[in-house]
Amino acid sequence: MVRSADTAFLAELQPEAERLLERHLTTAKEWHPHTLVPWSRGRDFEPDYEWSPEESDLSPEARSALFVNLLTEDNLPYYFRDIERMFGKDDAWGEWVRRWTAEEGRHAVVIRDYLTVTRAIDPVALEQGRMVQMSTGEVPQPPSAADGMCYVALQELATRISHRNTGTHIKDKVGYNIMRQVAIDENLHFLFYRDIATAGFAYDPSQMMEALERQLIGFAMPGTGIPGFQEHSKLIAAAGIYDLVAHFDKIIEPVVLKEWKIDELENLTPEAQQAQERVMKYVGKARRVADRMRSRRAA
């Protein structure tokens, strides 16, 4: 149930949600997971089958990325629960939540079918990981609609980057195309959330500023419940698929600074002004860390 404190906020942004939903519906292209999967490469799994890394030419970092990406997509029921809780089930908000869920559902289908047919990842480990991930139901739970807009905008863009970069680490053209298509979906979802958050900053900059502080500082992807998540994340970061450099260059700078212009927000409440100062301090630190990582990489 939507918090009563969010009712007026969502009602004010309802026209923008309608506009962005219509834009999305006219922009999104229909696609079918079954047409991307190389079914002719599949064969039965015998009862005594044991998977071996030699069955695939995937690099360890690509395998880790696909493992994390797929299990993250598997947690869709919990994301739907929280997004509907934040935005509601009525009007354009509810229509968007359901449309978003339907489109996201294709991602786990196509990635899992590809991995199963090509035997790129141990199917037993993958299913065991899915059971652990979905049994715990560990997902971020932003406390308000404003928090949700900030978090999901950042998260959808991070997911798009991760999927797209994962594809570049797959030598198989089919796998590359699958991750490219999934990334296209994620980008359209990001644009909806980025732009509804932009409208939120215009309407109530103080509320959005405080929400952004909560969601940006300590930001974490919604995959922390995946078995071995930290180890996989280190491998993914070391390969440059998703790391702090990407997080700063492709999320913090273009969205937080250039799109939302949080350093230029004025007429904030004292609490929001303090949040703004803390966020700018965090941004400065993130820039220094990213610069050091770039220097080490160049060396």
Distance CA 252, CA 247 (A): 6
| Cβ within 8 Å of residue 216, ≥6 positions away | 150, 154, 252, 256, 279, 282
CA-wise closest residue to 163 among 211, 223, 86, 89:
223
CB–CB of 241/165 below 8 Å?
yes
pLDDT in tens, 184-195: 999 999 999 999
Percent pLDDT > 70 in the chain is 99
Q: Residue 132: is its pLDDT beyond 80?
A: yes
Residue 223, pLDDT score: 81
Query: Is residue 134 over pLDDT 80?
Result: yes
What is the SS3 assignment for 171?
coil
3-state secondary structure of 42: coil
pLDDT at 225: 84
Domains of the chain as residue ranges with CATH: 4-44+54-298 (1.10.620.20)
Residue 39 has pLDDT above 80, yes or no: yes
Q: What is the mean pLDDT of the chain?
A: 94
Q: Supply the pTM of this predicted model.
A: 0.95
Question: Which residue, 51, 241, 242, is CA-closest to 128?
Answer: 51
